């Protein structure tokens, strides 16, 4: 199994729970959409998957590991098998596109020749080969998004998580990005894309999970 949520709830302090009794299991190697309106809990669910949050109740499993009881060093190792694309890109402003995209490989202690060669090729592939020495502030929103995607997939992760990746780009770019994810999926990476854009989900006809005010709807995992 890719990930299993067992009756997971998440709340911050005394506030209303962000997620309540979420229960699902996703098989490995799939492409899934996580849908729901803004504030439904999609980002929180993704954060639980990559271990940035611990559930208030229930258990989260990733690649067979219970994230509540995993050692810190082991969690770091697990995170190196995940790529995350954020809605706001989160590129480090004083690093060039090339340096930003190469970070996961450097963290994995990859050989520098390989880092340079592979990252350059990948940036070419996502369409920002001409801008690889530019700083994020010098790139357009679409270019920044592509660099963020390159960074997320540069170390060939087992799982790619994308949080509203199409939120800050026009429809045409959004479709191109989802095609890009589909290509990565074909190369063997499991993909979970959180989006509130239902039209995109319908266009790509992939299984989806739908959240409504922190709960999965009864038709939780809908087949394409």
Contact positions toward another protein, by CB under 8 A? 50-54, 72-73, 76-82, 84, 90, 92, 94-95, 99, 103-104, 106-109, 151
For another protein, the closer CB: 71 or 223: 71
Non-local CB neighbours of 28 within 8 Å, separated by 6+ positions: 1, 2, 158, 190
Taking alpha carbons only, the member of 167, 192, 170 closest to residue 181 is 192
State the minimum distance, in angstroms, from the CB of residue 141 to another protein: 18
Cα–Cα dist 30/206, whole Å: 9
Using DSSP bridges, classify how beta strands 57-62 and 3-10 pair: parallel, antiparallel or unpaired. antiparallel
Question: Based on the number of CB atoms within 10 Å of its own CB, is 127 exposed (0-12), middle (13-18) or buried (19 or more)?
Answer: middle
- Residue pair 136/147 in contact (Cβ under 8 Å)? The answer is yes
Of 104 and 214, which has the nearer Cβ to another protein?
104
Q: Between residues 59 and 176, which has the closer beta carbon with respect to another protein?
A: 59
Closest to another protein by CB, 103 or 175: 103
Distance in Å, CB of 188 to another protein, minimum: 19
Minimum distance from residue 99 beta carbon to another protein (Å): 6
Please list, in sequence order, all residues whose beta carbon lies within 8 angstroms of the beta carbon of residue 115, skipping any fewer than 6 positions away: 102, 105, 106
Q: Which is nearer to another protein, 37 or 68 (CB)?
A: 68
Count of CB atoms within 10 A of residue 172's CB?
A: 9
- Closest approach, Cβ 6 to another protein, in A, equals 20
- Strand-strand pairing, 65-66 and 57-62: antiparallel
Nearest to 34, CA basis, from 173, 139, 190: 190
Other C-beta atoms closer than 10 Å to the C-beta of 152 total 23
- Nearer to another protein (CB atom), residue 115 or residue 201: 115
In the complex with another protein, the residue whose CB is nearer, 64 or 77, is 77
Shortest separation between residue 110's beta carbon and another protein, angstroms = 8
Query: Smallest distance, Å, CB 93 to another protein?
Result: 8
In the complex, minimum distance from the CB of residue 74 to another protein, in angstroms, rounded to a whole number: 11
């Amino acid at each position: 199994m890719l990930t299993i949520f067992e009756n997971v709830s998440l709340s911050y302090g005394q506030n209303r729970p962000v997620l309540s009794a979420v229960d699902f299991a996703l098989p490995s190697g799939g492409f899934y959409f996580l849908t729901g309106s803004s504030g439904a809990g999609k980002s929180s669910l993704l954060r639980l998957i990559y271990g940035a949050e611990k559930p208030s109740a229930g258990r989260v499993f990733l690649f067979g590991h219970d994230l509540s009881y995993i050692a810190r060093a082991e969690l770091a190792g697990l995170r190196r098998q995940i790529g995350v694309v954020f809605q706001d890109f989160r590129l480090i402003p004083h690093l060039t596109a090339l340096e930003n995209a190469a970070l996961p490989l450097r963290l994995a202690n990859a050989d520098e020749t390989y880092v340079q060669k592979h990252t350059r090729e990948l940036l070419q592939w996502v369409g920002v080969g001409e801008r690889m020495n530019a700083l994020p502030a010098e790139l357009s929103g679409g270019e920044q998004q592509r660099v963020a995607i390159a960074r997320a997939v540069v170390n060939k992760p087992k799982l790619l998580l994308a949080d509203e990746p199409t939120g800050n780009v026009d429809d045409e770019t959004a479709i191109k990005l989802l095609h890009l994810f589909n290509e990565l999926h074909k190369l063997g990476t499991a993909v979970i894309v959180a989006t509130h854009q239902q039209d995109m989900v319908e266009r790509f006809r992939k299984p989806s999970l739908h959240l409504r005010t922190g709960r999965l709807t009864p038709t939780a995992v809908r087949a394409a």
